Structure 1
Amino acid sequence: MNRTLTRRALLQGGAALLAAPLAARAQERRFEPQPGAWRTFDLSTSVSVPEALGTTRVWLPIPDVASDWQRPGENSWSGNATAARIVADPARGVRMLYAEFAPTAGAPALTLVSRVQTRSRAVDWAARTKVDEDPALLRASLAPTALLPTDGIVRKTALQATRGAKTDIDKARAIYQWVVSNAHREPTVRGCGNGDIEAMLESGNLGGKCADLNAVFVGLCRSAGVPARDVYGLRLAPSAFGYRELGANPANLKGAQHCRAEVFLRGHGWVAMDPADVLKVMRQETPEWIKDTAHPLAAPVNRGLFGRWEGNWVGWNTAHDVTLPGSERKGMLPFLMYPNGENDAGPFDELAPDGFRYAISAKELA
């Protein structure tokens, strides 16, 4: 009798194990962004500086990416600036709002409103076509930057990650999965990180945030001969697919900055990528750190963010090594994703919105 019961229990346990993958698959949350209707947002950035210490200068990013997934609109501003205008980094071409406040202007205050239309995007892997792109842009998307070298340990890692991959799609997929498998989201990193990929690879510590993790992806792609670029931007609204970590509260977008990535693939053009958000879901979507991409919450975003992203996000620009026109700051910014400012006391801390006193919000228009 006991032997019969034991055998029955073993058989039931085996059946449960066989059914477990099917049950997990059935519980997966859907994540399948598709191009559809355009969404229109008014994006507002307000800056206030408590006291005027000499001349105050402020630089605010604006939606500066025009594509089949984003349409920038008008920018308007108000406040007590002595002068304000749209300027561009002469070397990188990235545009931004620059405002200057004379010492006699009082406590500096500025509000920028940018209208932008966004929509989700998804590549059709079954459709291939000849895509013409500016050769100079593709060369720039293969070139090293100050924090994205393409030689040394970056090149060594890219060769290891893409061993056996022949096509550009195979290389991009191999690097994407290498990042997801070897890196991790580190919530204690300030802001979005700085994207110093050589330091990350040399240290063996591949923990970071989006500007680190997607920079690793971009740098490895470039080193493997696949044009790639970071796209720096801001989350605008909740995710339509129920992922808390893939959306934002439009009434309060401080800390909603997010960097994504693109690769240029023959037959498809620029394709959406975001391994950093896969790692964010795995680390922060649930109280427990998800370590397996087959997990029912992780699997859909791991599949989906290779070739797709959701249109609840605005892209500011794709520029690395940015110079702020008119700034007295020494050196370049690794990227322009946050409001920046300075006065006679020096640069403001753009990662401290309560100290710098800036607020960002978005209103979706019907």
Structure 2
Amino acid sequence: MTLVSRRKVLQFGLAVGAMAVMPRFAFAAAQPDRVYAPAASDWRAFNLSTTVTPPDTAGATSVWLPVPSVDTAWQRTLDTNWTGNAAQAEFVTDPTSGATMLHARFDAGQTDRMVVLTTRVETRNRTIDWSKKSDVREDPAVLEAALKGSSLAPIDGVVGDIAAKATAGANTDVEKVQAIYNWIVASCYRNLDTPGCGSGDLTALLANAAPGGKCADLNGLFVAMARASGVPARDVYGVRVAPSAFGYKQLGANTADVTGAQHCRAEAWLEGYGWVAMDPADVLKVMRAETKEWIRDRRDPLVAPVDAALFGNWEGNWVAFNSARDVALPGAASAASVPFLMYPQGMADASQRFDELDAKAFSYKITAAEA
């Protein structure tokens, strides 16, 4: 990144610095006309199925499919299995991150290739009561890992500079996270031209005065800024599986075919609260795509409830896969890795990578059904 582009980003951040320290719930109180308020809910069960039919002409082929591997108070996996004619298939867990995937291999010359991964998952709304604190604990090694940068998301340089500006005057970790959340919503935008969920490359994202991207970029920036500020944070990669209960088209999956419904969320570790839900990227999605007109004021009655709620809450209409970054693909001859594992991955002849965003050519289909 050039010095000029760094200055542009920092100048833009200073311009919204006043907004960065505003109380988190001020916007919702100003516009009570629309409701978006996930509340504590019962468990919901979903059957999530990924069907992959690699082309017969691809030679020896391997595919890696993310498996929901999050066991928390808001999600639990009940059953996982696979069917098909893969020459070999096994469930593999990344020892560093805990991310689980199905690795299936097809031999050269094998025809009518198919593998189907099916997972039964239960989810429920995730909520927080800011008036109640507890003595919640976490493994120190987990928190230490949640303070480090990654290949595409460094926490020094311009990210550290922006984080310092955004959190100036914040004294507690809650205040820092509020300021960072506000900075993302005020300073960034959802770029409709960004492929998929974005690459998560923060250097590329911040090369522009107004950073534009999608969830892996925007929530990835939130996570990096929190880490740069000394607050443990992590991305959570997954897929939407059901419509929003509040009528927001952009905040849910509106068909059983969820092939393109991947979504990355975020968490921050806050003392006394534990891991807390965060999703500034979805606020920006509502602003940019919920209506035909680009809503640029977060106090708009359509946006304000979402802006308030997604600081600490989210709906249980989404299934998390993992929180892994820089994931090695086991069994890949070239020791291939991906910056995150949210989409199916594939490789032919040990070197030719399939485009995970081109589901038709890959080819794969993901469906979800509430049980």
Quick check: TM above 0.5? yes
SS of corresponding position for 2:296: coil
Query: For residue 238 of structure 2, what is the aligned residue in structure 1?
Result: 233
- Residue among 294, 310, 315 paired with 1:310: 315
Query: For residue 10 of structure 1, what is the aligned residue in structure 2?
Result: none
User: CA–CA distance in 1 between the matches of 2:125 and 2:112?
Assistant: 40
User: CA–CA distance in 2 between the matches of 1:274 and 1:25?
Assistant: 20
User: CA–CA distance in 2 between the matches of 1:324 and 1:250?
Assistant: 30
SS of corresponding position for 1:191: coil
Instruction: Give the residue type in structure 1 aligned to 2:317.
Output: N
Identity %: 52
Query: For residue 15 of structure 1, what is the aligned residue in structure 2?
Result: none
Q: CA deviation at 1:330?
A: 5.6
Alignment of 1:8-157 (within 5 A): 25=31, 28-157=33-162
- Residue among 349, 353, 364 paired with 1:347: 353
Q: CA deviation at 1:148?
A: 1.4
**2:56 touches 2:109 (CA, 8 Å); kept in 1?**
no
Query: For residue 264 of structure 1, what is the aligned residue in structure 2?
Result: 269
User: CA–CA distance in 2 between the matches of 1:321 and 1:25?
Assistant: 41
User: CA–CA distance in 2 between the matches of 1:329 and 1:114?
Assistant: 29
User: CA–CA distance in 1 between the matches of 2:120 and 2:341?
Assistant: 19
**1:43 touches 1:114 (CA, 8 Å); kept in 2?**
yes
Instruction: Give the residue type in structure 2 aligned to 1:185.
Output: R
Q: Does 1:357 align with 2:363?
A: yes
Instruction: Give the residue type in structure 2 aligned to 1:113.
Output: T
Moved more, 81-90 or 103-112: 103-112
User: CA–CA distance in 2 between the matches of 1:161 and 1:70?
Assistant: 32
- Encode CA deviations 1:67-116: one digit per residue, 9 max, x unaligned: 00000121111111011110122333311001011124313211111000
**1:54 touches 1:103 (CA, 8 Å); kept in 2?**
yes
**2:329 touches 2:336 (CA, 8 Å); kept in 1?**
no
Instruction: Give the residue type in structure 2 aligned to 1:355.
Output: A
Unaligned runs of 5+ in 1: 1-20
User: CA–CA distance in 1 between the matches of 2:252 and 2:34?
Assistant: 15
**1:340 touches 1:350 (CA, 8 Å); kept in 2?**
yes
- Residue among 156, 167, 171 paired with 1:166: 171
Q: CA deviation at 1:329?
A: 4.6
User: CA–CA distance in 2 between the matches of 1:251 and 1:294?
Assistant: 33
Q: Does 1:325 align with 2:330?
A: yes
- Encode CA deviations 1:240-278: one digit per residue, 9 max, x unaligned: 000000011341111100000000000000000000000
- Encode CA deviations 1:29-80: one digit per residue, 9 max, x unaligned: 2111112100001101001112243211010001111100000121111111
User: CA–CA distance in 2 between the matches of 1:279 and 1:334?
Assistant: 23
Instruction: Give the residue type in structure 2 aligned to 1:132.
Output: R
**1:81 touches 1:105 (CA, 8 Å); kept in 2?**
no
User: CA–CA distance in 2 between the matches of 1:74 and 1:228?
Assistant: 28
Instruction: Give the residue type in structure 1 aligned to 2:358.
Output: A
Q: How many residues align?
A: 344
Query: For residue 177 of structure 1, what is the aligned residue in structure 2?
Result: 182
**1:75 touches 1:114 (CA, 8 Å); kept in 2?**
yes
Query: For residue 209 of structure 1, what is the aligned residue in structure 2?
Result: 214
- Encode CA deviations 1:327-364: one digit per residue, 9 max, x unaligned: 13564211000011111261110000011121111111
Q: Does 1:285 align with 2:268?
A: no
User: CA–CA distance in 1 between the matches of 2:93 and 2:87?
Assistant: 19
Instruction: Give the residue type in structure 1 aligned to 2:236.
Output: V
**1:329 touches 1:346 (CA, 8 Å); kept in 2?**
no
Larger Rg: 1
Moved more, 211-220 or 51-60: 51-60
User: CA–CA distance in 2 between the matches of 1:202 and 1:32?
Assistant: 35
Instruction: Give the residue type in structure 1 aligned to 2:292.
Output: P
- Residue among 336, 340, 345 paired with 2:341: 336
Query: For residue 8 of structure 1, what is the aligned residue in structure 2?
Result: none
**1:131 touches 1:269 (CA, 8 Å); kept in 2?**
yes
Instruction: Give the residue type in structure 2 aligned to 1:215.
Output: G
**2:60 touches 2:106 (CA, 8 Å); kept in 1?**
yes
User: CA–CA distance in 2 between the matches of 1:238 and 1:321?
Assistant: 31
Query: For residue 252 of structure 1, what is the aligned residue in structure 2?
Result: 257
TM-score (norm 1): 0.91
Instruction: Give the residue type in structure 2 aligned to 1:358.
Output: Y
Q: CA deviation at 1:130?
A: 1.1
- Encode CA deviations 1:184-220: one digit per residue, 9 max, x unaligned: 0001100100111133224334100000000010000
